[in-house]
Chains A and B, each alone.
Chain A
Amino acid sequence: MTETKTPRLSRRTLLQGAGAAAGLAAGSGVITGFPAIIAAEPVTLRYLGTAVNQSGDIARKVKEDLGITIEYIPVVTDEVSKRVVTQPNSFDIVDSEYFSLKKLMPSGNLVGMDARRIKNADKITPVFTKGEVGGKKIGDQGTAPKKVFYLEGQNSTKFAASPTEWITLIPTTYNADTLGIRPDLIKRPITSWKELLNPEFKGKASILNIPSIGIMDAAMVVEATGDYTYPDKGNMTKAEIDRTMKVLIEAKRAGQFRAFWQDFNESVNLMASGETVIQSMWSPAVTKVRSQGVACTYQPLKEGYRAWATGFGLPKTLSGKKLDAAYDFINWFLSGWAGAYLNRQGYYSAVLETAKANMEPYEWAFWMEGKPAEKDIKAPDGTIMEKAGAVRDGGSFEQRMGAVACWNSVMDENTYMVRKWNEFIAA
């Protein structure tokens, strides 16, 4: 049922899109005699984002369903923001982190998205719209998406406190991050963030060398030790930054860290080779270590998770056929196939019900409900990720996202923080 339903839906979207494009082209007088051919001319969208979210499978499926060619521009997170601010004409759609919005929106290069043109806008999970999971409020320290989800107007650079029809980013993926550990080498239960700086793991711990994220992991540790409770870990005062950095510098001088990592593969190698036994990590990296036959747990901790989210934004300069195509693509993205694809990799998708309709019940039960896998869980490419009987670390969607303590962020004192971070690296 569902399998036949989705393509038909997307085909209709395609026709609508094509019709609108033709109408628009006719209206603007571009056509010189071959309307059908010009209207059917394939549209290419330049998709700026990090490589993590840019899958060839998705691009192929879009081409099949909508006839839109997706041209990926894969760069690192920081480069995404840099491009949006400095070269806003170099892409047609951007997949950016929500925390970057504080930098991006004031530049005026992104435009508010019309919620009325997003078919599933009202079905986007309340994690984004209200900061809730299953009716329960979740942690909103840092740049929680709900704080930057709406704009006051289409061309406004101010975030709206209450829902409006102008959305900054339509969520693509989000997740809750925690520490990865090697249970075979640690040999005892780990329940708290403070273990990251426990001298027991001297020379075998690691954090990431991305200042704005690394400092929040450190703040989780400081809070876990009971030293200090931050009013907002995602927006520290100078004194709080100093306090946190002092803890980090002491740990570094004592030789706590084996290395710092900056990209996905570095974190996988450190963990898989046994150079580190406990470190801040990303969910797919844990999966990758495990797929190499090395025991690795994405350990839920009592203080909660540090969450992040990314979403689609549109540049102000986008218009005409490309703008329509961008909306079509976003609508397609929320219609289920892509959501299911992302859920199967351990990320979460924006509209859960459409994703559910595109997943096998046993897959949904494993990834989203935290139940033991009935059958082997396979990656999109067919390799086995988890054997039958395995349970997802951290449990269900509600357990994991419900336990979020803070969100990746950009602080008001960002410049100072970066300077202090450089000091920490030099210490």
Chain B
Amino acid sequence: MSTAAAPALPEAATAASTPTGLAAATRRQRRLAYWQAMPLGLVFLVFFLVPLALTLIVSFWEYNEYEIIPAFTLQNYADVFEGCLSGGDLCTTFRTYLSTLKFCLLGWAATLTIGFTVAYFVAFHVRSTAMQTVLFLICTIPFWTSNVIRMIAWVPLLGRNGLVNDTLMGLGLIRTPIEGLLYSDFSVVLAFIHLDTVFMIVPIFNSMMRIDRSLIEAATDAGATAWQTLWNVIVPLCKPGIAIGSIFVLTLIMGDFVTVGVMGGQQIASVGKVIQVQMAYLQFPAAAANAVVLLGAVMVLIGALTRLIDLRREL
């Protein structure tokens, strides 16, 4: 078989037998792999890398009310961190990130606890696969309606004259309505839990299903209590699932501004909201600078997470 004339086809690669032909075949195979990866690579390039590069470039441009001017200025970044080094009161940016981080932490802890418990129950306590599938599907029910509707549904429930307050007052437990139920940190976290828990359930459940059941039997045989088994066997083996779920939840909360806006009564700052306001006022370079800073912050967070768990090895 003449290798020179052979096109880069898989059959040609597998057909090669001589050592030199083998090297050529490997090369061809590698080239083929690149060709196969190209469609996705192109999509990635055009819809991710190019816009990202543009955002980065624009973040150094100047702007006025109606145009953005190609230049190189650090003013946009200086504006983002205005007053952050002077000490005293926290600057807007730090305050905003702190608030966002707080939601990240609360949302993450809550979704992890609930997500892990639900996944554990479905994976280990439900015996039949059919039932597991049914329960798993039930977890996705909230996704049958839009994000915004799911949030707004909380409003009549939590409002000053909402169901919860009415019920509590009807039972005589409180005299005046609890104001903090709606348009507060509480309602924001509640909405995040409602919206994001499923992103925790799915990867953790997936990890749990891959755990070899004989390991659990072995732990029991070795005299471990249920808690010891959970902590020393199941949790370590679920680490990849927990990490993936955490990345989902954290990035969702970091970039969110709709939930914080609707549930926080627009009174709570979020980085996304700052960017949105700047975009609305045609301050694209300022918005780009904020976006770059946000991207950096998220990457640091993800970096720290992957330091804790080596995802590629675990998978």
Contact B82 A419 (CB under 8 A): yes
Contact B273 A78 (CB under 8 A): no
Q: Which of B155, B274, B280 is within 8 Å of A269, CB to CB?
A: B155
Contact A418 B92 (CB under 8 A): no
In the complex, chain A residues whose CB is within 8 Å of the CB of B277: 211, 418, 421-422
Contact B273 A258 (CB under 8 A): no
A261 within 8 A of B: yes
Interface window among A59-67, A102-110, A120-128: A102-110
In the complex, chain A residues whose CB is within 8 Å of the CB of B161: 273-274
A415 within 8 A of B: yes
In the complex, chain A residues whose CB is within 8 Å of the CB of B266: 209, 259-262, 425
B96 within 8 A of A: yes
Separation in Å of the B282 CB from the closest CB of chain A? 6
Question: Which interface residue of B79, B92, B156, B286 has the most chain A CB atoms within 10 A?
Answer: B92
Binding site of A, secondary structure by majority: helix, strand, loop or mixed?
Answer: helix
Contact A414 B269 (CB under 8 A): no
In the complex, chain A residues whose CB is within 8 Å of the CB of B155: 269, 273
For A411, the closest partner residue in chain B by CB is: B65
Question: Which interface residue of B159, B261, B269, B280 has the most chain A CB atoms within 10 A?
Answer: B280
A275 within 8 A of B: yes
Contact B265 A259 (CB under 8 A): yes
A387 within 8 A of B: no
Contact B267 A252 (CB under 8 A): yes
Contact B65 A78 (CB under 8 A): no
Q: Which of B96, B273, B279, B282 is within 8 Å of A85, CB to CB?
A: B282
In the complex, chain A residues whose CB is within 8 Å of the CB of B269: 422, 425-426
For B183, the closest partner residue in chain A by CB is: A259
Determine the distance from Cα of A414 to Cα of B66 in the docked complex, in whole angstroms: 12
Contact B159 A85 (CB under 8 A): no
Question: Which interface residue of A76, A419, A426, A427 has the most chain B CB atoms within 10 A?
Answer: A426
Contact B267 A260 (CB under 8 A): yes
In the complex, chain A residues whose CB is within 8 Å of the CB of B95: 426-427
A184 within 8 A of B: no
The contact string, 1 if C-beta is below 8 Å from chain B, for chain A 78-103, is 11011001000000000000000011
B interface residues, how many (CB within 8 angstroms): 34
Contact B99 A426 (CB under 8 A): yes
Separation in Å of the A84 CB from the closest CB of chain B? 9
For B91, the closest partner residue in chain A by CB is: A423
A203 within 8 A of B: yes
A410 within 8 A of B: yes
In the complex, chain B residues whose CB is within 8 Å of the CB of A425: 266-269, 273
A interface residues, how many (CB within 8 angstroms): 36
Determine the distance from Cα of A89 to Cα of B219 in the docked complex, in whole angstroms: 70
Question: Which interface residue of A76, A252, A259, A427 has the most chain B CB atoms within 10 A?
Answer: A259
Contact A419 B79 (CB under 8 A): yes
- Known contacts A258-B265, A274-B161; is A415 also within 8 Å of B283 by CB? yes
Contact B267 A259 (CB under 8 A): yes
Contact B267 A415 (CB under 8 A): no
For A202, the closest partner residue in chain B by CB is: B179
Contact A414 B281 (CB under 8 A): yes
In the complex, chain B residues whose CB is within 8 Å of the CB of A419: 79, 82, 92
Interface residues of A in 241-289 (CB under 8 A from B): 252, 257-262, 269, 273-275
In the complex, chain A residues whose CB is within 8 Å of the CB of B79: 419
The contact string, 1 if C-beta is below 8 Å from chain A, for chain B 256-292, is 0000010011111100011001111111001000000
Determine the distance from Cα of A252 to Cα of B274 in the docked complex, in whole angstroms: 18
B182 within 8 A of A: yes
Contact B65 A273 (CB under 8 A): no
In the complex, chain A residues whose CB is within 8 Å of the CB of B99: 426
B160 within 8 A of A: yes
The contact string, 1 if C-beta is below 8 Å from chain B, for chain A 384-427, is 00000000000000000000000000100011001101110111
Contact B282 A103 (CB under 8 A): yes
16 A-B residue pairs with CB within 8 Å:
A78-B281, A81-B282, A82-B279, A106-B65, A107-B66, A259-B266, A273-B159, A414-B281, A415-B286, A418-B278, A418-B281, A421-B277, A422-B92, A423-B92, A426-B99, A426-B269
| Chain B contacts to A: CB under 8 angstroms | 65-67, 79, 82, 92, 95-96, 99, 155-156, 159-161, 179, 182-183, 261, 264-269, 273-274, 277-283, 286
